[in-house]
Structure 1
């Protein structure tokens, strides 16, 4: 990856389409609900990009992308996309893609072994957790062996926080419980794993101040700004991004739900300080990812 040629690093993109299998029953309905939530016509039409499509899109824009699947088999019943295949496609496109993985923490010791192997053998740099989709409180001790493995291997843990489009508008919210994604539970994780790099994903509505508090207090906690257009960021988030947390804020789009084209266009119009913009777009992620 030629970092001098890269204009930004998107820390939050999704591998939505299966690498080697068809969609499970109910998956189309789930994606249609997501598409309605994010006003994304591609999802509604079942035309989500593959990992290879994502690489081509980002290469054209000279934006590097951290990409990951989400393993939530226990709660959703949807088969996960193989972490190894996503990592292999990233290796084929290592000028633009940065591999993260996802392991449902309920998988216990088998998940711990997988995490270590993915870092050592496939160059995975981090792991995505979605407490609401995976049905767990982030500070549940059952996940601690997995966190320890990620910390030991020098990888990053990225956690969805706040409200989610997953199950939005569906009967019973598709069984998704929002309470699991309160960022304050990650304060315990930051204390118990002080050398684990933690990213709180998204403006954490309705717990924005909790997220800012944790990121301000704990040196190993960062915030990515994905999942929302910058024009909707609350004033307190803008205030902290421009001041105390300017070196801990990260550009993320939430591709394909939100495209970087849309996010960056609104970022240009938002009230960020000139000296803060390059930190958010590239420099903070470059340092965090040790690129």
Structure 2
């Protein structure tokens, strides 16, 4: 079975990411990631970019495309200027750029704020999705009211021509995430980062039975496996273990969609030069 990793971070050599990679049983290097992708049948990955708006900064291995990230530095003045919007568009013109990534919670701006209107217009024009961080954050200084999945509902309604991706399925706000996903035809979710480090799947499912059952319940509530994509949040989790975990959450009949087909539909066909 071919797999697309629809949510990863690629920051080799950065101390923070080096540490979490080791905790997950990996090495935070290009060589190790490529080796693991090939071993596990992961043919492609989508990097959630946090290297700024200059497209020259977004250089990745051939197996990866990226979403250009709009982060605190661009938003702290309360608007996006013409130069910044031009840089976002310059990224979107590239076949290496698969979409846009927003970081509410880490940024104190709701995704329905008018500051994003020209960003959504660009996404619609280039027919590329907008991925949005939702749910829990990696640091205590972030504000969850901005990353709650219910905040995506207003953006989805106001911008029906934009394909949105709810990263991390809003975890742990799963009931609200499911309501937003079920209601809005232009909303999908990735299943990345639902645990951390290295875990034995059987032990995790036994010891965290309530959590696993909640995930299964609200994924099933959406009643549409076209809405979900496999993602890892590399290097946060052990790739092999995490594939096994998502297979526990998703019925086998939907594996091809969730592990591969939906990502192709949402992030676009993969040019042959980008595959492993």
Match of residue 184, structure 1, among 125, 135, 150: 150
TM-score normalised by structure 2 residue count = 0.78
Q: Secondary structure at the match of 2:6?
A: strand
Q: Report how many residues are paired.
A: 249
Are the aligned partners of 2:70 and 2:102 in contact in 1 as well (CA < 8 Å)? yes
Secondary structure of the corresponding residue to residue 203 of structure 1: helix
Question: Out of 167, 181, 186, which is 1:201 matched to?
Answer: 167
Q: Name the CA shift for 1:41/1:289 in 2 (closer, same or farther; >3 Å).
A: closer
Which of 113, 129, 153 in structure 2 is aligned with 1:156? 129
CA distance in 2 between counterparts of 1:132 and 1:8 reads 29
Task: Map 1:75-224 onto structure 2 (within 5 A).
Answer: 80=52, 83-86=55-58, 88-90=59-61, 93=62, 96-104=63-71, 106=75, 108-109=80-81, 110-121=83-94, 123-164=96-137, 166-167=138-139, 173=140, 175-224=141-190
- Following superposition, the deviation at residue 281 of structure 1 comes to 1.0
The CA RMSD measured in Å over matched residues stands at 2.9
TM-score (structure 1 length as normaliser): 0.75
Q: Which has the higher contact order (CA 8 A, sep 6+)?
A: 2
Distance in structure 2 (CA, Å) of the matches to 1:276 and 1:126: 24
Corresponding residue number in structure 1 for 2:49 = 69
Q: Report deviation, 1:128.
A: 1.5
Tell me whether 1:280 sits opposite 2:258 in the alignment: yes
Question: Residues 177, 119 of structure 1: CA spacing in aligned structure 2 closer, same or farther, 3 A cutoff?
Answer: same
Structure 2: gaps spanning 5 or more residues? 196-200, 270-276
Question: 2-side partners of 1:237 and 1:43: how far apart?
Answer: 24
What SS does the aligned partner of 1:102 have? strand
- Confirm or deny: 8 A CA contact 2:104 2:147 kept in the other structure: yes
